[in-house]
Amino acid sequence: MSSPVTTKRGDTGTTMILAGERLPKSHPILQTTGKVDSLRAQTALLRMQILERGTAQQRELDEALFWLLHCYFLIGTAVNDPKAKHPEYRQADLDETHLARLEEIQTALEERVTLPKSFIVSASNTLSAQADVVATVARELERALVQMKEVIPEFEVAAILAFINRLSDSLYIMARFLEEGSHVPVDYGVLEP
């Protein structure tokens, strides 16, 4: 089989990372890389759903989501070369300018959303539910990054951690924005017999 994708080199449960090392697929670097991949795929799904079904107001999120997809590649490159052995493979590193833009996105959404004074128990539509899924995957990535830093202390992860932490907040607000005022707050009365 000749394929530009299938190399067969990973058939034994190892893979090559950008740092030039072959690692078992269970290694924290590859587990974290998988979380970045999941975040990218779930964000892409949200973007496509918004473009296909969203209102004109909701489709305004396209630019922000497209930008985020590109930020994830910066994160993935850093994760795959945590000791920066091959800086030539890195297009850029996340920094305070990326964080500032993410905060601008969140602030713009917060100005347009009135949150209920109780916890949200559920999204109110499929777009907001998908945004909640993306926020959950971002939190999973955050935990994986912390675990990776514990194993590889040299990994300069502070800027990425700040970005991902803020990202989950931004995605939560995005989910509420996508609800267009139709929030589903917790109602503990449903637990009564």
The per-type count for the chain, helices as H runs and strands as E runs, is 5, 4
Identify the pLDDT of residue 7.
64
- The answer to whether 83 touches 154, Cβ cutoff 8 Å, is yes
Identify the pLDDT of residue 14.
78
The dihedral through the CA atoms of 126, 128, 134, 137 has a sign that is negative
- 13-61, pLDDT tens digit by residue? 778 777 778 877 889 999 999 999 999 999 999 999 999 998 898 999 9
Return the percentage of the chain with pLDDT > 90, whole number: 70
Tokens in use for 50? 């918004």
H/E segment holding residue 23: strand 22-24
Identify the pLDDT of residue 179.
94
Among 8-12, 93-97, 122-126, 136-140, which is the least confidently predicted range? 8-12
Q: What is the pTM of this model?
A: 0.90
Residue 177 has pLDDT above 70, yes or no: yes
Residue 167 has pLDDT above 60, yes or no: yes
- 116-133, pLDDT tens digit by residue? 888 988 999 999 999 999
**Structural domains in the chain, sorted by start:** 23-83+90-113+122-181 (1.20.1200.10)
Quick one: average pLDDT of 76-81? 95
Quick one: average pLDDT of 145-174? 97
Provide φ and ψ at 170, rounded to 5°: -65, -40
Average pLDDT, the chain: 91
Q: At what angle do helices 158-178 and 96-110 cross, to 10 degrees?
A: 20
Residue 158 has pLDDT above 60, yes or no: yes
Identify the pLDDT of residue 10.
56
Contacts of 15 (CB under 8 A, 6+ apart): 9, 22, 23, 25, 30
